[in-house]
Structure 1
Amino acid sequence: MSRNDALRAARLRAGWRTVESAAAGITEHGRALLDDRQFTVSARTWRRWEGARPGWPAEETAIVIHDALGRWPEDLGFTTPPKWIRPEHHEEEHVRRREFVSVTAAALVAGPVARQHVDPALIDYFQQQLEGHYCADMFLGPHDLIGTVSAQYQLIDKLVRSAKGETRRGLLRVGAAYAALVGWLYQDAGDMEGASFWRGVTQEIAVRSRDPHLIGYALVNQAQVRTDLGDGHAVVELCEATLDDAGRLVPKVRIMAMQQQAHGASLTGERRVVDQLLDRADRLLPRVDDDLPWGNACRRTPGYLEVQRATCYGRLGLGAEASSLWAQVLAGVPETARRDRGVYMARQATAAATAREPEQAVEIAREAATIAAETRSARMRRELVTLERAMRPWHDAPVGRDLAEILAPVTDGS
């Protein structure tokens, strides 16, 4: 882009028809808001902001921009600096980190603990509970489950320290599955630091269990975090490491590694590799017959591999192909899978925008935004922010204003 169209559109909506009137208007607003007669934004500065390299305003200027235009600078085309936290979120961030420290302590309970008898039947109990947590996650989203699941992990860890033999190994296996779920919940909540920590816990317990399937599953979990961080080469390396020992792995783990490697290939722009990996995984899908309680998305999720293909195509910029795949996928998604449905719809809307179908994108976004508000899924909010970027060519058009109104309750201040 040769200019910052997002800021220009916001200026025009505010009634500032020229750069000079915008500079005067924001200066007047800032002086009143900050009670500072020295606050000034020049026309030259505003002109730079609307250029191809707007940079980043000072923090107090960012506050004034938000108060005047109703959006933070990162939503107006500015270049967001690392570690920027919106001022209103400073206390929220403090609370979130305090909660993280509290929950993370579940994985770091100091030993030794008092010895107790551990009945092998507890393994089945925790496995049954785990399936319930997977189901609850679909309805509730991450925030309401993190404390519950991590507390159960803490109990499992305590029991492992007393258990012996096969009971100990069984509890290690189920404990790794609980740690993986906590990691996923943090990832869905947008806390990549928390996700990485718990993925590391999963990896440690998997190695201690000596279970090759669980070790492979833990590596794929690490790759999943790297996908969200946009590190395609790391994703491929982790998945290749998993598949190095493919002969020892149940088909489910091999499928997980192949589909995640496809995401890595999409991040590095390799469409042919994406299709090859997903086609190989599809041939393995009928052979999934294990009774392992974790990693069963390929069984629970309708059109599991087509979901991955559509996501990869969207990432590759193949809007029309991705949009067509999403329509097929969504036809088979039950209403009970509400959060997944919202994520898929947000991705479908972005694909429609990429295919230059803005009206269709906005119509799809209506339901996705409602689901995002209900589930508080950071993953879904990120998808909707991606949609906003894809819709920038229509920012000044009525369809662009409709989208801004639809997404405002979800993306503003998030």
Structure 2
Amino acid sequence: MTLHTAHAAGNNVLRAARLKRGWRSGEAAAKAVSTAGRRALNDAHFEVSPRTWRRWESARPGWPREDYAVALHAAFGLWPEDLGFEVPPGWVRPECNENTTPEAEVKRRAFVSATTAALTLGPVPPRHVDPALVPYFQKQLEEHYRADMLLGPHDLIGTVSAQYQLIDRLVRAAKGETRRGLLRVGAAYAAMIGWLYQDAGDLSAATFWRGVAQEIAVRSRDPHLIGYSLVNQAQVRTDLGDGHGVIDLCKAALENAGKLAPKVRVMAMQQQAHGASLTADRREVDLLIDQATDLLAQVDDDLPWGNACRRTPNYLEVQRATCYGRLGMGAEAGRLWEQVLADMPTTARRDRGVYLARHATAAATAGEPEQAVEIARQAAQITVETGSMRARRELKTLEQAMQPWHDASAGQALTDVLASVA
């Protein structure tokens, strides 16, 4: 084979791996590997450009730089030499012990990176901590909540984690009421970091940060914050599909319900409804959502965290629709999603993507595959823009719900729609 012929053939191994993943173009593959790399490297700015991907496929490429190698491995589960890259002289595949796969090692490094912000070692030098820092961080937290709705998790994780590190150092140096105030706001920051990792699809890091939030809440001795931290733990259990675990945690949060702010009780009840949906108890779902609805008008606190019930129109109907969808009640869920989506503000873009994906699944469950595909087109575009793994998971659920139409025109249309999200 001549040199020209070899270059014309290009990297057929990489091309075949791309097509096996369902990525029909180099642009789609570059986006998917970029997303995998951002998660594996914990780097919100990591990117593989379409031009780089075309270069990899058009010739037999040399060994990629280290971050590209990690991203390729995270995306394909293969090392670069398995993907047609030229191995440099003397390179040795990283060793893994008998209990550790290469994929697990990448995840371990990502997890260590995710948890570093909470694990500052050693004593903190004495310093004056101004009480005005407490409202400053509270105000910043509210802005982070707004940015999360617009951007999704990846662009915020680093910023919020860095601020938590600073709060943690200040807590160690502060005294009296300033220290207690910083503990309360620090718990809220840790809870938000847990949420960002959960939305990004990293449940290990999410669980760690939810645990950090709970520890700080207990140290603050704030009963409202302790209840909030238990609900946050229940959210992770919901994503894990552990209905009984969700119910246990929410019942613990509500054990002294009379001492809790109405907002915390609303949060615990609606999350317990999710647990009920996971255990196929439709009656309990409606009972809990109805009880939370009766409390919603009483939410009037100035706590800086847990304010989704204020920011999100039809907040509790969102929860009911989600539970109905989980219970397989497609028509009932679909009617609720139409109501919810009609009232959503344009600023809640990430949430809109998630809700559209759930609406599409409800349409498929109700036997309306064409409607499901049309709704999915909107959801897929927002999912790509925000990088929300929650939305991606919802689209995976839609893909399963559309299996009866896999070989029909609607099924093929959905495959084309989801190619951009893969």
Name 2:120's counterpart in structure 1. 109
Aligned length: 341
Q: What amino acid maps onto 2:220 in structure 1?
A: S
1:96-175 matches, cutoff 5 A: 97-175=108-186
Q: Cα gap change, 1:107/1:68 in structure 2, threshold over 3 Å: closer, same or farther?
A: closer
Q: Distance in 2 between matches of 1:33 and 1:353?
A: 37
Deviation at 1:335, TM superposition (A): 1.2
Q: What amino acid maps onto 2:76 in structure 1?
A: P
Picking from 317, 342, 348, the partner of 2:359 is: 348
SS where residue 297 of structure 2 aligns?
helix
Moved more, 103-112 or 349-358: 103-112
Name 2:330's counterpart in structure 1. 319
Encode CA deviations 1:204-241: one digit per residue, 9 max, x unaligned.
Answer: 00000000000000000000000000000000000001
Q: Distance in 1 between matches of 2:372 and 2:205?
A: 33
SS where residue 126 of structure 2 aligns?
coil
1:220-259 matches, cutoff 5 A: 220-259=231-270
Deviation at 1:64, TM superposition (A): 11
Deviation at 1:409, TM superposition (A): 1.3
Q: Cα gap change, 1:201/1:89 in structure 2, threshold over 3 Å: closer, same or farther?
A: farther
Q: Distance in 1 between matches of 2:106 and 2:355?
A: 30
Q: Distance in 1 between matches of 2:175 and 2:297?
A: 36
1:198-217 matches, cutoff 5 A: 198-217=209-228
Q: Distance in 1 between matches of 2:141 and 2:284?
A: 34
Picking from 76, 97, 121, the partner of 1:87 is: 76
On the 8 A contact 2:361/2:397 being kept in 1, the answer is: yes
Q: Cα gap change, 1:256/1:89 in structure 2, threshold over 3 Å: closer, same or farther?
A: farther
Q: Distance in 2 between matches of 1:383 and 1:90?
A: 29
Picking from 291, 294, 297, the partner of 2:308 is: 297
On the 8 A contact 1:103/1:147 being kept in 2, the answer is: no
Q: Distance in 2 between matches of 1:205 and 1:144?
A: 25
SS where residue 228 of structure 2 aligns?
helix
Gaps of 5+ in 1: 1-31, 35-62, 73-83
Q: Cα gap change, 1:196/1:370 in structure 2, threshold over 3 Å: closer, same or farther?
A: same
Name 1:388's counterpart in structure 2. 399
State, as a whole percentage, how many aligned pairs show the same letter.
72
1:331-410 matches, cutoff 5 A: 331-410=342-421
SS where residue 161 of structure 1 aligns?
helix
Q: Distance in 2 between matches of 1:347 and 1:192?
A: 20
Q: Cα gap change, 1:347/1:90 in structure 2, threshold over 3 Å: closer, same or farther?
A: farther
Q: Cα gap change, 1:265/1:65 in structure 2, threshold over 3 Å: closer, same or farther?
A: farther
On the 8 A contact 2:22/2:419 being kept in 1, the answer is: no
Q: Distance in 2 between matches of 1:400 and 1:177?
A: 43
Q: What amino acid maps onto 2:193 in structure 1?
A: V
Name 1:20's counterpart in structure 2. none
Moved more, 93-102 or 190-199: 93-102
Moved more, 157-166 or 223-232: 157-166
On the 8 A contact 2:114/2:205 being kept in 1, the answer is: no
Name 1:271's counterpart in structure 2. 282
Name 1:23's counterpart in structure 2. none
Q: Cα gap change, 1:33/1:89 in structure 2, threshold over 3 Å: closer, same or farther?
A: closer
TM-score (norm 1): 0.79
1:7-26 matches, cutoff 5 A: none
Name 1:11's counterpart in structure 2. none
On the 8 A contact 2:149/2:350 being kept in 1, the answer is: yes
Q: Distance in 2 between matches of 1:129 and 1:64?
A: 45
SS where residue 325 of structure 2 aligns?
helix
